[in-house]
């Protein structure tokens, strides 16, 4: 059980703990409900494994973007910074199955000149991906965190994903890609936005 300080974070409410034994009990219950024998050899350790996996899949609930983005530096760069093709896995909050793809993140540093380490942008994607999610919220949470902590002139986030809930079940359309974008500040201006989009989409 991991406790966190909710006061100082902008994490969702009730995100304070992962109760591994409770997940184990629930997984055992699901195995029985689908007509399996949770005590057969191959499944004996499965509830434990799933509990550990879930703690990992949802670890972003217990992380605060402030911890990632509060260390910034000024390197006198006031043009677009773009990191593209940040691969990630997330979990669809409707079906609890994966969706996965790439995020592309760009921002134009603001008057304060705040620039963050490039890896922090990838960590920011992980932080929001490792929660029960929908792609639209993931996209806006990333861009809003950039705006809040880096105070840039503008920011853009484009996310492209395949959703397993559309591939392996339901409508069963493997390969269908969902693209979402969120754009803030100066990057909303047509010329700047077009430049960023052409850099993102020019593979």
Query: Would you name the residues annotated as active-site residues?
Result: 92-95, 135, 163, 165
CA–CA distance, 51 with 113 (Å, rounded to integer): 43
Indicate which single residue of 163, 164, 184, 192 sits in contact with ligand GTP (rule: CB under 6 A). Answer: 163
3-class SS at 131? coil
Binding site for Zn ion (CB under 5 A): 92, 94-95, 165
What is the CA 33 to chain-centroid distance, rounded?
A: 31
Q: Can you list the alpha helix ranges (DSSP code H) found in the chain?
A: 20-33, 46-57, 65-69, 118-129, 135-150, 164-167, 190-201
165 assigned to a ligand binding site: yes
Q: Which residue is nearest to ligand GTP (CB)?
A: 170
Of 91 and 181, the one with the shorter C-beta distance to Zn ion is 91
Q: Is 134 among the residues that bind ligand GTP (CB under 6 A)?
A: yes
Phi and psi at residue 81, to the nearest 5°: -115, 125
> Was 95 annotated as part of a binding site?
yes
**Where does this chain bind ligand GTP (CB under 6 A)?**
92, 94, 134-136, 163, 165-166, 170-171
Q: Which residues are annotated as a binding site for Zn(2+)?
A: 92, 95, 165
């Amino acid at each position: 059980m991991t406790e966190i300080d909710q006061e100082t974070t902008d994490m969702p409410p009730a995100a304070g703990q992962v109760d591994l034994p409770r997940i184990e009990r629930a997984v055992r219950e699901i195995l029985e409900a689908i007509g399996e024998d949770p005590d057969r050899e191959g499944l004996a350790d499965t509830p434990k494994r799933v509990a550990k996996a879930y703690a990992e899949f949802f670890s972003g609930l217990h992380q605060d973007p402030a911890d990632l983005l509060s260390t910034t530096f000024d390197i006198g760069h006031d043009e677009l910074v773009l990191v593209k093709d940040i691969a990630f896995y997330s979990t669809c909050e409707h079906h609890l199955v994966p969706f996965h793809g790439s995020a592309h993140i760009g921002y134009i540093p603001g008057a304060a000149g705040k620039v963050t380490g490039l890896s922090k942008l990838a960590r920011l994607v992980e932080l929001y991906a490792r929660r029960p999610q929908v792609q639209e919220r993931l996209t806006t949470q990333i861009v809003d965190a950039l705006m809040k902590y880096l105070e840039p002139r503008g920011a853009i986030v484009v996310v492209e994903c395949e959703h397993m809930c559309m591939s392996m079940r339901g409508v069963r359309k493997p390969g269908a890609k969902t693209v979402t974008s969120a754009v803030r500040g100066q990057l909303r201006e047509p010329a700047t936005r077009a430049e960023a989009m052409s850099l993102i989409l020019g593979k």
